[in-house]
Chain A
Amino acid sequence: MVLAFALGAIAVLVKSDLRIPDGMYQGMSIYLLFAIGLRGGGELAETPLALVWRPALVTVLLGVATPLWVFAILRWVGRFKGVDAAALAAHYGSVSAVTFTTALLFLEAAGAKAEGFMPALVALLEMPAILVALLLGRRAQTKVASSSVKLGEVVREVVVGKASLLLLGGVAIGWLSGQHGVEQVAPLFLAPFKGVLVLFLLEMGMVAARRFQDFRKAGPFLIGFAVVMPVVHGALGVLLGQAAGLSIGGATVLGTMAASASYIAAPIAVRTALPEANPGYYVTASLAVTFPFNLSLGLPLYFAIAKLAFGGAT
């Protein structure tokens, strides 16, 4: 699947005229998010609550804590402006749905299937992370305050923004209708899922490659950050996942979730609420560095960390 991503990147680098239409990009995003939600919701309905609450708790914890130290590191070590640090915190705290999905399929192929309710956790990680980061950003913003947006609007954007709405809505529908209900739509939402993901990765390769030229604007510190931070978060996610009683697959996926940087919900929320933040930093770091890194090296690395952490227990 990573090959599709590479093909997309190559297509841009050799200036091919390949171009995925906007409508298709949006359509595939909607399909993927909704399908992930349905899948997770269906499995959630089959899972006793006792198994879910601890992973859910550590996920929320991660969502609240990661933006705080990302912000602190960027602000005081990286010397970024407050709004830029907050924008990056929103991205690195939240989850890339595509990285997440790729992780699920990667582990399935490796024979270490993750718990089925993982998609529900994506929403739990995403929302607190973006909220916390935006709140940090608003504090940094008060000095500028030219175009500040009301707090209510920010919350609204995070909770009912199209990405969260689809994901959460999917989980809710899947949960309400149960595994049996989800099976009825399986021909559309489960069977072609991997194929659509491959096509989407092709597009993501192109999107990421178009950003490569922005590297220079990001600066070496940020590029280093965009590689080191995911590894730290990945290891942390794996260990917390293990502590919360997830399987080796589930812990790897939680690590990947913590490591990944959002490029769907976070950029929109940040652009809406913190327009002063420079997209040259947050989009470049998350899309052109962290995303390809996680797909290629990150995933196997987090899996290896999980294997190490679980020792011979599997």
Chain B
Amino acid sequence: MTLKTVKVRLLTIIAEAVLRDRLVEELKLAGASGYTVAEVHGSGFGTVRASEWAGPSVRFETVVTDEVAQALLAVLAERYFPSWSVVAYLQDVEVVRAERYQPSPSLSPPRPKKG
């Protein structure tokens, strides 16, 4: 038997280690239901890394609805892309249990403006 799958979005964010905690907050605020984070190695050619002590870069993966993904990309574009090394990309993925990746209503208020 084939399980019925639903299309949702996979957002991958690769960022400097110093952004780790802040990105978790952004994911929560945007209404992602969860995330996976891994430490990864790599570098843009021609960029200079700030600190070994902060640790290797981090890669976040989160399966979300298209609205949440777009909202997150907008936040990244507004607040993170200009100043930090951040790469983000979006893919279509199919999952069983689509309800699992819906933003829970309590978690997705309109984004409060932070300073």
Which of A's residues lie within 8 Å of B, judged by CB?
Answer: 22, 25-26, 29, 146-148, 150, 163, 207, 214, 217, 263-264, 267-268, 270-272, 275-276, 278-280, 283-284
Contacts and interface: CB of A to CB of B under 8 A. Distances in A.
Kindly list the 8 A-B residue pairs having the minimum CB-CB distance in the complex, ordered from nearest: A275-B83, A267-B51, A279-B50, A271-B50, A280-B48, A279-B48, A147-B83, A264-B53
Main secondary structure of the interface of A (DSSP, over half): helix
B48 A268 contact: no
Nearest to A211: B48
B110 interface: no
Given A275-B83, A275-B84, 8 more contacts: A263-B53, A268-B53, A270-B50, A271-B16, A271-B84, A278-B48, A283-B48, A283-B49
B48 to A, nearest CB: 4
Contacts of B79: 146-147
Pick from B48, B52, B56, B83 the residue with the most CB of A within 10 Å.
B52
Contact of B48 (A22, A217, A264, A270): A217
B80 A267 contact: no
10 contacts: A26-B55, A29-B53, A163-B53, A267-B51, A267-B53, A271-B18, A272-B18, A275-B84, A279-B50, A283-B49
Interface in B1-57: 16, 18, 39, 48-56
Given A22-B56, A147-B83, A272-B18, A267 B115 contact: no
B51 A271 contact: yes
Interface of B: 16, 18, 39, 48-56, 79-80, 82-84, 115
Contacts of A29: 53
A29 B52 CA distance: 11
Contacts of A264: 51, 53
